[in-house]
Structure 1
Amino acid sequence: MPDLLIELFSEEIPARMQKRAAEDLQKLLTNRLVEAGVTYASAAAFATPRRLTLAIDGMLAASPAVTEERKGPKADAPEKAIEGFLRGAGVTRDQLEERETPKGAILFAMIHKPGRPAAEIVAEVLDQTIRDFPWPKSMRWGSGSLKWVRPLQSILCVISDEGGAEVVPMEVDGIKSGDVTYGHRFLSPDAITVSGFDDYETKLARAHVVLRADARAETIWNDATNMAFANGLEVVEDAGLLAEVAGLVEWPVVLMGRIADDFLGLPPEVLQTSMREHQKFFSVRNPKSGQIERFITVANRTTADDGATILAGNEKVLSARLSDAKFFWENDLRVAKSDEGMNAWVKALENVTFHNKLGTQAELIERMAVLARELAPMVGADADEAEQAARVAKADLSSEMVYEFPELQGLMGRYYAQAAGMSDGVAAAAQEHYAPLGPSDDVPTAPVSVAVALAEKIDKLTGFWAIDEKPTGSKDPFALRRAALGVIRILIENDVSLRTSEAVRSANASADANDLIAFLHDRLKVYLRDQGIRHDIIDACIAMEGNDDLTLLVKRARALSETLNTDDGENLIQGFKRANNILTQAEEADGVEYSYGADVKFSETDEEKALFKALDEAEAVITPAMNAQDFITAMSAMAALRRPIDAFFEAVQVNSDNATVRRNRLNLLSRIRTICTSVADLTRIDG
C-alpha cells in the first residue's frame, strides 16, 4: 500500500500557530480522503517555522468501486418525474429495475461508481484544504487570490511504494506540486529532491532542519541545562517559552550570555519577565541566591565565531531593555519610600474605572478594606493589618513597572510594600490576594492574605450580582466562575468556617444572597465532582440547614461519600428508602403524620425490640457528634443501623392487622427517617 508525503513550504509561520496548523492539516486532509473512500493506516503531521508536513502510511492505492441502490418514483408516475430521476441518478430508462412493494410498483436504479486513483483524489482534497485552510490570520501576496499565513512558496506532494515514487500533479494559484523541498535558509538553502518520508526527514537533517518540534525543544532544553550546569547555574523552567522558541528555529543553537552587573539588583521576576516577553530569552539563575545572573538565547544557525557576534548583539539589546526596567524600578521605589508612600498610587486609582456601574478602582479598594476588616477575625487575622493590606493590595496598578508588565501586578506590590516598611503579612497579601487564578494554583494560607483574597472575590461576586451581570452559558467576561471557585478553595483548603450568606449581605445588600449561594453551590459541585464525590451526595448535603458554610458542607459530603462507599452504608440506603416509602405511603393514605409515639412495649418480635435499641444507641452518638460537627462519627453510627433495619424488615410486617401495632411500627419508621435525615437528606441519594 502506498505512502503519501505532503509539504507546504512558505515564509516563516508564527510559532504560536504552528502546532494547531499541523493538527488542522492532518485532520482536514485525512477526513476528506476517508470521505472519498481512501483509507490509511496512520498519519503524522509536523511543523517548522517554514513548513507544514503531513506523512500518511498505508494508504489505499485507489478508492473502491461502489454500487449504490437509489429508490425512484412509482412505475406509473408522470414521465417528467421519471426523467428527473434518470437525470439525477445518471442512468437510462433501460437500466431501471421495477419492483413490487407494499406501496405498488417502484422504480429502482443501481448506480455503479468506479474506483478512482488515490493520486487524483489527493490532488483534489489538497487543493481544497490549501484554499480553505483555517489560519487565525492570513494574507494575499502578489497578484494571486490565494490566502496563506505567509507567502506559500512550494508544494511537495509525493506518493511512494515499493515500485518507486511519483509526484501527484496539481497546481494551486500558479504553484505546481513537485518532489522538491529546501533546507535551512542560511546553512543549506539548496533544493532537495525526496522520494518519501524517511528520505525527506533524513535529507532535511543533513540540510540543517530538525523536522520534529519535540526534538528541537529537547535539544534546546538539554543544551541549555548542560551549559548552565557547567557554570554552576540552573535554567528557570518555562514550558511555554520552550515551545515558542522551538517554533522559531529549524536548527537550534543554544548560546548563554551575561547580564550586565548594573541590572543584577533587579528583582528576579522583573529580569525574567523582561527577557521572556521582549527577547524570548530563558533566565539562568544562581541556585544559591535565587538571583538571575545570565540568559539563554537560541540562534537559528551556527556561525564561524561560535555565536560570539550574536551574543554581543543580544547583550546590547538586552541592556537597553533592562535599562528601562531599572528606571521603572528605581522610580517606583522612590514613590513607595516617600512620605505619602503607596497612598499616592491608591489616590491615582480614583481616576481608573473598575466598572461603569461599580465605580472606580479606589472605590473597590474601599469596599475591600471594610470587608477584609470584617472577615479578619473569622480567618484568624488581625483586623487592622487586614484593612491596611486591602488598602494597598492594588496600589501597584499605578506603578510604572506594572504599567509596563501587567503580569507582575501583585508581585511588585509585595516588593513595594516591603520597601515602604509594611509588615510581611501586608506585603504578602499584595501578591497573594489575586490567588488562586487557576485550578492548579496554590491558595493563600497566611491569615491576612486569606482575608484580603476573600474580600476581593466576594466583593466582585456580590457587585456583579447586584447589577445583574451574571455568567450565562459559556460567557463569563468578568471571570466570576473563577472568583467563586477561588472563594470555595480558599475556605475549604484553609478549613475556614464562614457563613457566606452573611458575608454576601455585608459586602452588598443589593445582591440576591440566595441566588449567589446557589451559584457557589453549582461551582462546589464541579469542584467536588472532580474529586470523585457524586452529585447526589452533594445534593443530599446541600439540602441541609447551614449549607452556606461551604467548609462544613464539604466535610459533610466527604463523610457521606466515604460512608456510602462501604457495604453497610450502601445497604443502609436501601433500608432507609424502604422505610421512607412505606411511611410516606401510609401518611398519604391515612392523612396523618407518624412522627412520634413509638414505644418498645408494643413490640412483638426480637428484631423489633433490637431496632428500638439500635436507634436509641445511634441517636445517642449522632446528636452530640452532629453538634460537634463530627460528621465521620455521626455517619458511622448511622451506617451501623443497616443490620438492625434489614433484620426488622425481614421479620416484621409493618402494616399489621392490629391498628395499635401498625401505628407503633410506622412511628418506629419515622424515627429511622428522622435520625438518618439529621445527617443528610438521604431521600436525594440515588439507588
Structure 2
Amino acid sequence: MPDLLIELFSEEIPARMQKRAGEDLKKIVTDGLVEAGLTYASAAAFTTPRRLALTIDGLTEESPNTREERKGPKVGAPEKAVEGFLRSTGLSMEQLEVRDDKKGQVYFAVIEKQGRPAADIVAEVLEGAIRNFPWPKSMRWGAGSLRWVRPLHSILCIMVREDGATVVPLDVDGITSGDTTRGHRFMGPDAFTVTSFEDYQTKLKRASVVLDPAERAETIWHDATNMAFAQGLEVVEDRGLLAEVAGLVEWPVVLMGNIDDQFLELPPEVLQTSMKEHQKFFSVRDPKSGKIVKFVTVANRETTDNGATILAGNQKVLAARLSDAKFFWENDIRAVAREGMQAMAAPLANVTFHNKLGSQAARIDRIAALARALAPAVAADADQAELAARVAKADLSSEMVYEFPELQGIMGRYYALRADLPAAVADACRDHYSPLGPSDDVPTDPVSVAVALADKLDTLTGFWAIDEKPTGSKDPYALRRAALGVIRLLVMNELRLSVSDVIGDWAEKFEPVCLRLRTDWIAAEQKAGESMPDSAEEAKWLMTSRGLTKQIEAQKRSVSSSLLSFFHDRLKVLLRDEGVRHDVIDACLAMDGADDITLLVTRARALQATLDTEDGANLIQGFKRANNILTQAETNDGVEYSFGPDIKFAETDEEKALFAALDTAEAAIKPAMQDEDFAAAMSAMATLRGPVDAFFEAVQVNADNDIVRRNRLNLLGRIRVICLQVADLTKIDG
C-alpha cells in the first residue's frame, strides 16, 4: 500500500489560521478519499507559516469495483418520475431492467462502477480541496481565478511505494504538481526533491524549517525558560502567545532583550500587555520583586551577530510603544491624584451602556444601590461595597484602558490605591468582573463579592427586562457567562440568597422593567385629554386605578421566574461537569428552596453521591416500584393511601422489619433536613434499601384480605412520604 505526501507551499499564512487550516486539509482530503472508495491507515497534518503538509499512510492502490441495484418507479408510471429516476442513476431507458414486484412490474437500475487508480482519485480530491478551501479570508492574485489565503506557489503531491516515489499529476490554474519544495526563505531557499515523508521532514530541517508546530513551540519554551533561569529570572507563561509565535517562524531563534529602566516602574500588567499585543514578546519576571524586567522575542533566522541587530531594532520599537503606555499611566494617575476616582468616572455619563438601559453612569448608580443592599448577606461593609461599585468602572474612561481594553479592572485597582481608597475597594475594582469563565478564580473578599454579584445581577435583570435573552448559540451580551458567574460566586462562598427575591426586589427599582408600561400609560392618558398628576401620591393612585400597578407586578414576576429558570439551566451545565445528572437536579428543583442556589447545589451533590452507591441506586428502584403500585391502586380505588399503617396488621417478619426501618429512618431524616444536612438525610434514606427489597420479595401487596391490602398500601405510602422529604425521586430516571 502506498503512502501519500501533500504540501501546499505559499506566502506566509497568518498564525491564527494555521491550526484550523491543517485540520481542514486533513478532513477534506481524507473524507474525499474514503467517499471515493479508498481506505488508509493513518493521517497527520503539519503547518508552518509557508506551507500546509499532509501525510497519509497505508493508502489502497485503487477503489473497488461496485455493483448497486436500485429500485425505481412502476412500469407505466408518469414520464417525469421515470426521467427523474434515470437522472439519479445516470442510465438510459434501454439500460433499465423490468422485474416483477408485489404490486406489479417495476424498473430496476443496475449500476456497476469500475475501480479507479488511487492517483486519479487523489488528483481529483486535492484539486477540489484547493479550489474550495474554507479560508476565513482569501485573495486572488495575477490574472488567475484561484483564491488562496496568500499567493500559492507550488504543489507537492507524491505517492510513495517500495520501489520509489511517483508524482500525482495535477494542474490548478497553471500550478502543476511535483516532487520539489523549498526550505527557509533566507537560510534554505533553494529547491530540493523529496522521496518520502521522512525524507521531506529531514531535508526541511536541514533547510532550516521545523515542520511540526508542537516541536517549534517546545523549542521556544525550552530555550526561553533556560535563558531566563540562567539569569535568576522566569518567563511569564502564556500558552496562547506561545502557539501564536510558533506560527510566525519556521526556524525559531530565541533572543532575550532588556527593557529601558524608565519603564520598569510601570505596572507589570501594562508591560506584559503592551509587549504581547504589539510585539509578540514574552515577559520575563524577577520572581523576587514580581516586576517585569526583560523580554523574550523569537526571530525567524540565525544571524552572524547572534541576533544583536534584531534585538536592537526590537528594543527601539518597544521603547516607542512603552513611551505611549508611560504617558497614559502618568496622565491617569495625575488625574486621580487631582480629582479622585469618582471624578474619573464622570465621563461615563456620556457613554451608552445599551440604548434601552441607559448610560454607564446610570448603570453604576444601580450597581452601587444593589451592592449596598447585598452587603449584609455577604458580610461586607455596606459603605465600602457602595463606594467600590461607584469607582469599579471608573478606569473605563482612563487613557490606559482606552488603549488596552483588556486591562479594565486591573488598572482600576492601581488607580484606587493611588487615590488612597481602602484595599478592599481597590481589590473590588479588579475582581468584580470575575469569574469570567468556568476555570477562572472566584473572588472571596466580601466587598468584591458584593460588587461582582451586583454587577452581574444588574446586567441579567436589565436584559431580561428588555427581553434581550440568549437564543440558541447567540449570546452577544455574555449573559450565560454572567449567570454562571453568579452561581459560582454564591456556591464557592457558600452564600445563602433567595435569587427570586433579589431579582424581584431589584426589578421593582429597575427602570426598564416599568419604563415601557409607564410610557404607554402616559401616552394613553395624554391622548385621552387627561391631565397628568401633580404629585407622586396622586400618580400612584391613578396608576393603581388604571391597573398599571398590577401590570408592573406581573412584569416583575415574569422577569424573576424566567431568569430563575435560566440560572437553573446554567447550573445543570456546571454540575454536569461534576458528574451530577440533570434528573438529579430536577428532583432537587421540585423541593422548597430551589431559588437558593447554594442549598440547591448541596442537595443535588448529596443526592448524586447517594445514587452513586449500590444501596442508593437500588433504593430508587424500590421507591419507584412502591410509587407505581401505589399510584395504580389510588387511581383504581379513587382514594389516597396516605394514612398511617398499623403494625398490628402486619403478617410477616419482612413487613414488621420495614415498619421498624421506616421509624428509624424518619427519626434520622427529619432533624437532618431541618439542619440542612442532606448527606445525613440521604444516608438515612439509603438504609431503607434492604428492608424495602426484602418486603417486595416476601410480601404480596394486593392481598385477598382487604384490611391487610389497605394497610400494606398505606405502608407504601409511608415509604413515599419519607423518601419525598429528601427529594422528588419521581423525577429520577431509570
Normalised-by-shorter TM-score class: over 0.9
Q: What is the aligned counterpart of 2:677 among 592, 613, 630?
A: 630
Q: Once the 2 structures are TM-superposed, how far is the Cα of residue 60 of structure 1 from its aligned partner?
A: 2.2
Say whether the 8 Å CA contact 2:65–2:115 is kept in structure 1: yes
Q: Which residue of 2 aligns with 1:201?
A: 201
1:517 to 561, 564, 583: 564
Deviations 1:508-530 (A, max 9, x none): 13442122111111111111111
> Counterpart of 2:145 in 1: which secondary structure?
coil
**Separation in 2, partners of 1:625, 1:84:** 72
Distance in 2 separating the partners of 1:371 and 1:102: 76
Deviation of the 1:665 alpha carbon: 3.6
Q: Where does the alignment leave 5 or more consecutive residues of structure 1 unmatched? A: none
Instruction: Specify the alignment match of 2:662 in structure 1.
Output: 615
Q: Does 1:571 align with 2:618?
A: yes
Q: 1 CA distance for matches of 2:84 and 2:609? A: 69
- C-alpha contact (below 8 Å) 1:367/1:507 kept by paired residues: no
1:666 matched residue in structure 2? 713
The answer to whether residue 462 in structure 2 is matched with residue 415 in structure 1 is no
| Counterpart for residue 51 of structure 1 | 51
2:600 alignment counterpart: 553
| Counterpart in the other structure of 1:13 | 13
Q: Which moved more, 1:507-516 or 1:232-241?
A: 507-516
The letter of the residue matching 1:680 is: A
Counterparts of 1:427 and 1:84, CA distance in 2: 74
CA deviations 1:625-648 (Å, max 9, x no partner) are 111111112122222223333344
Deviates more, 1:431-440 or 1:505-514: 505-514
Provide the residue aligned with 2:427 in structure 1: 428
Flag the 1:126–1:603 CA change in 2: closer, same or farther, 3 A. closer
- CA distance 1:89–1:406, change in 2 (3 Å): closer
Cα distance, 1:68–1:271 mapped onto 2, change above 3 Å: same
Aligned ranges 1:292-441 → 2 under 5 Å: 292-338=292-338, 340-441=339-440
Alpha-carbon distance between aligned partners in 2 of 1:98 and 1:662, rounded to the nearest angstrom: 69
Match of 1:140 in 2: 140
Comparing 95-104 and 41-50, the one that deviates more: 95-104
How far did residue 196 of structure 1 move? Answer: 2.3
Per-residue deviation, 1:223: 1.0
Query: Which amino acid is 1:672 matched to?
Result: I
Query: How far did 1:655 drift?
Result: 4.0
Deviations 1:291-349 (A, max 9, x none): 111001111111111110110000000000000011111111112222x3111122111
Checking the alignment, whether the CA contact within 8 Å between 1:184 and 1:207 is kept in structure 2 is yes
SS at match of 2:149: coil
Q: CA deviation at 1:107?
A: 5.6
Question: Relative to structure 1, is the Cα distance of residues 608 and 298 closer, same or farther in structure 2, using a 3 angstrom cutoff?
Answer: same
Question: Which residue is equivalent to 2:525?
Answer: none
Measured at CA, do residues 84 and 570 of structure 1 come closer, stay the same or move farther in structure 2, by a change above 3 Å?
closer
Most deviating of 520-529 and 264-273: 520-529
Moved more, 260-269 or 513-522: 513-522
Residues of 2 paired with 1:190 and 1:50: CA distance?
15
For residue 635 of structure 2, the aligned residue among 588, 597, 600 is: 588
Partner SS state of residue 63, structure 1: coil
SS at match of 2:439: coil
Q: Which has the higher mean CA deviation after the structures are superposed, 66-75 or 188-197?
A: 66-75
Deviations 1:89-110 (Å, cap 9, x if unpaired)? 6778887665444444556554
Greater displacement, 644-653 / 291-300: 644-653
Partner of 1:155: 155
Which residue number in structure 2 is paired with residue 253 of structure 1? 253
Matched, 1:502 2:549: no
Over the matched positions of the two proteins, sequence identity in percent amounts to 72
The one-letter code of the counterpart of 1:670 is: G
Which residue matches 1:239? 239
Residues of 2 paired with 1:436 and 1:256: CA distance?
A: 34
Residue equivalent to 2:486: 487
Relative distance call for 1:574 and 1:170 in structure 2 (3 A) is closer
Paired AA for residue 115 in structure 1 = G
C-alpha separation in 2, matches of 1:11 and 1:54: 18
Counterparts of 2:724 and 2:126, CA distance in 1: 65
Q: Which moved more, 1:617-626 or 1:574-583?
A: 574-583
Question: Does residue 272 of structure 2 align to residue 225 of structure 1?
Answer: no
Q: Secondary structure at the match of 2:6?
A: strand
Indicate the larger mover: 474-483 or 107-116.
107-116
Q: State how 1:269-308 maps to structure 2 within 5 Å.
A: 269-308=269-308
- Deviation, 1:611, is 3.3
- The alignment partner of 1:508 has SS state of helix
Residue 673 of structure 2 aligns to a residue in which SS?
A: helix
Change (3 A) 1:416 1:99: same
Are the equivalent residues in 2 in contact too, given 1:72–1:85 (CA < 8 A)?
Answer: yes
State the shift of 1:544 in Å.
0.3
User: CA contact under 8 A between 1:72 and 1:109: conserved in structure 2?
Assistant: yes
Q: Secondary structure at the match of 1:319?
A: helix
What code does the residue aligned with 2:148 have?
W
Distance 1:605 1:291, change over 3 A: same
Of 147-156 and 504-513, deviating more is: 504-513
Following superposition, the deviation at residue 661 of structure 1 comes to 4.3
| CA contact 1:371–1:506 (8 Å) conserved in 2 | no
* Residue 176 (str. 1) matches residue 223 (str. 2): no
In 2, are the aligned partners of 1:351 and 1:360 still within 8 Å (CA)?
Answer: yes
Q: Aligned residue for 2:542? A: none
- Give the TM-score, by structure 1 length: 0.95
Gaps of 5+ in 2: 514-555
Equivalent residue of 2:591, what SS?
coil
Native 8 Å contact 2:159 2:166 kept in 1: yes
Is this contact kept in 1: 2:644–2:718, CA < 8 A?
no
Q: CA deviation at 1:595?
A: 2.8
Distance 1:492 1:213 in 2: 40
Greater alpha carbon shift after TM alignment, 594-603 vs 260-269: 594-603
- Cα offset for 1:556? 0.9
Shift in Å, 1:603: 4.1
Displacement after TM superposition at 1:123 (Å): 1.9
Query: Residues 108 and 674 of structure 1: is their aligned pair in 2 closer, same or farther, counting only changes over 3 Å?
Result: closer
- Equivalent positions of 1:635-654 (< 5 A) are 635-654=682-701
CA positional deviation for 1:591: 2.8
Give the TM-score of the pair, scaled to structure 2: 0.89
State the 1:11 CA deviation.
0.9
Q: Distance in 2 between matches of 1:80 and 1:553?
A: 63
Name the structure 2 match of 1:265: 265
User: How far is the alpha carbon of 1:387 from its aligned partner?
Assistant: 1.1
Q: Quote the Cα distance in structure 2 between the aligned partners of 1:567 and 1:201.
A: 55
1:534-557 CA distance string (max 9 Å, x none): 222111111001110111111111
Match of 1:216 in 2: 216
Structure 2 CA distance for aligned equivalents of residues 77 and 652 of structure 1: 66
Q: Tell me how far 1:563 sits from its aligned partner.
A: 1.8
- Say whether the 8 Å CA contact 1:63–1:118 is kept in structure 2: yes
**Which one is further off, 487-496 or 644-653?**
644-653
100-109 or 419-428, which deviates more:
100-109
* Closer/same/farther in 2, CA of residues 162 and 397 from structure 1, 3 Å limit: same
Name 1:683's counterpart in structure 2. Answer: 730
Size of the alignment, in residue pairs? 686
Query: 2:392 touches 2:412 (CA, 8 Å); kept in 1?
Result: yes
How far apart are the structure 2 equivalents of 1:535 and 1:106? 51
CA contact (8 A) 2:45 2:55 kept: yes
Query: 1:150 deviation in Å?
Result: 0.7
Aligned to 1:23: 23
Conserved in 1, the CA contact under 8 Å of 2:498 and 2:595?
A: yes
